[in-house]
């Protein structure tokens, strides 16, 4: 496959950025999208040019590090992580636009790399438990309803990649925050902080400059872990219930 890749190049947070086009040849359908970027970077280094900076780590769809907007869609044309997107999703001769996550809360560091530490601060505000757990208890010692256990696990699969923010027309982090709140609030260990958790995490989310949710659903459509929309509904219910109590 021979492609033209137009990539956002920005030398530093304060430098102006622009889209730059590069021809990429000898791409096989079995390559991942990040492997295609590796091939491009090898050619740039050999030509004495600056390689494209992009985030990656495990390349197994687990860590949430990878994340770019491909042809206007977070993570690209398939509902998966960028590292698990393969070049068979494209055609020979395609022109592919690659941009970083676009959000005021995710400032660009360089090229396709953005600062997602705002997610860390939202977690620090309440995404934890204080109950001493000690050694692993017997599986049946604390009973959890099957529906609650399933929902908690489903929300715990969130990898914090930021696709929900990049896909949302408002740059909202509601799906990410809701996944973290719902995961812990459904479990017995999370009950001591249940009320403070939802208030503190929503406040932290708003303080970071994320936009408001208008229920467009783009976050769910782009989430590689398929976090359900009901998580946002659940967090809103928890938030309003706690506000009424206080």
Give the span between the Cα atoms of 12 and 7, in whole angstroms: 15
Same domain, 218 and 192: yes
Alpha carbon 6 to its chain's center: 22
Give the span between the Cα atoms of 26 and 82, in whole angstroms: 20
pLDDT surpassing 90 at residue 178: yes
Same domain, 161 and 197: yes
Q: Which of 21-30, 128-137, 165-174 has the lowest mean pLDDT?
A: 128-137
> E strand or H helix at 95, and its extent?
strand 95-99
Same domain, 104 and 155: no
Same domain, 105 and 9: yes
Banded pLDDT at 7 (limits 50, 70, 90): very high
Instruction: Render pLDDT for 90-137 as a digit per residue (tens, 0 to 9).
Output: 999 999 999 999 999 999 999 999 999 999 999 999 999 987 777 777
Give the span between the Cα atoms of 105 and 164, in whole angstroms: 13
Same domain, 70 and 163: no
Domain containing 84 equals 3-110
- What's the average model confidence in pLDDT over 57-85? 96
Q: Which of 62-71, 78-87, 123-132 has the lowest mean pLDDT?
A: 123-132
- What's the average model confidence in pLDDT over 165-174? 97
- What's the average model confidence in pLDDT over 160-166? 97
pLDDT surpassing 90 at residue 36: yes
Same domain, 45 and 164: no
pLDDT value of position 225 = 97
pLDDT value of position 142 = 81
Tell me the average pLDDT of the chain.
95
Same domain, 123 and 43: no
pLDDT value of position 192 = 92
In a domain? residue 217? yes
Same domain, 19 and 41: yes
> E strand or H helix at 99, and its extent?
strand 95-99
Give the span between the Cα atoms of 24 and 92, in whole angstroms: 11
The CATH number of whichever domain residue 17 belongs to comes to 3.10.20.30
pLDDT surpassing 80 at residue 234: yes
- What's the average model confidence in pLDDT over 138-157? 89
In a domain? residue 219? yes
pLDDT surpassing 80 at residue 138: no
In a domain? residue 66? yes
Same domain, 104 and 185: no
Q: Total structural domains in the chain?
A: 2
The values of phi and psi at residue 245, to 5°, are -70, -25
The CATH number of whichever domain residue 205 belongs to comes to 1.10.1060.10
Same domain, 57 and 125: no
Same domain, 225 and 126: yes
Alpha carbon 219 to its chain's center: 10
Same domain, 169 and 69: no
């Amino acid at each position: 496959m021979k492609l033209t890749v137009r990539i956002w190049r920005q030398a530093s947070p304060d430098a102006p950025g622009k889209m730059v086009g590069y021809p990429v040849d000898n791409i096989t359908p079995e390559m991942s999208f990040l492997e295609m970027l590796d091939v491009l970077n090898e050619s740039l280094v050999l030509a004495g040019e600056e390689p494209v900076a992009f985030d990656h780590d495990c390349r197994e769809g687990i860590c949430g590090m990878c994340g770019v907007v491909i042809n206007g869609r977070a993570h690209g044309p398939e509902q998966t992580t960028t590292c698990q997107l393969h070049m068979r999703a494209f055609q020979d001769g395609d022109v592919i636009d690659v941009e970083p996550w676009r959000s005021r809360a995710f400032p660009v560091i360089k090229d396709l790399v953005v600062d997602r530490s705002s997610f860390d601060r939202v977690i620090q505000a309440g995404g934890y438990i204080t109950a001493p757990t000690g050694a692993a208890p017997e599986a049946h010692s604390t009973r959890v309803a099957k529906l609650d256990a399933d929902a908690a696990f489903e929300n715990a699969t969130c990898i914090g990649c930021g696709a929900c923010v990049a896909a949302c027309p408002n740059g909202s982090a509601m799906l990410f925050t809701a996944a973290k709140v719902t995961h812990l609030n459904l479990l017995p260990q999370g009950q001591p902080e249940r009320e403070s958790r939802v208030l503190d995490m929503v406040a932290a989310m708003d303080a970071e400059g994320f936009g408001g949710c208008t229920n467009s659903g783009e976050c769910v459509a782009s989430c590689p872990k398929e976090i359900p929309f009901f998580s946002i509904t659940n967090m809103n219910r928890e938030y309003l219930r706690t506000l009424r109590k206080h």
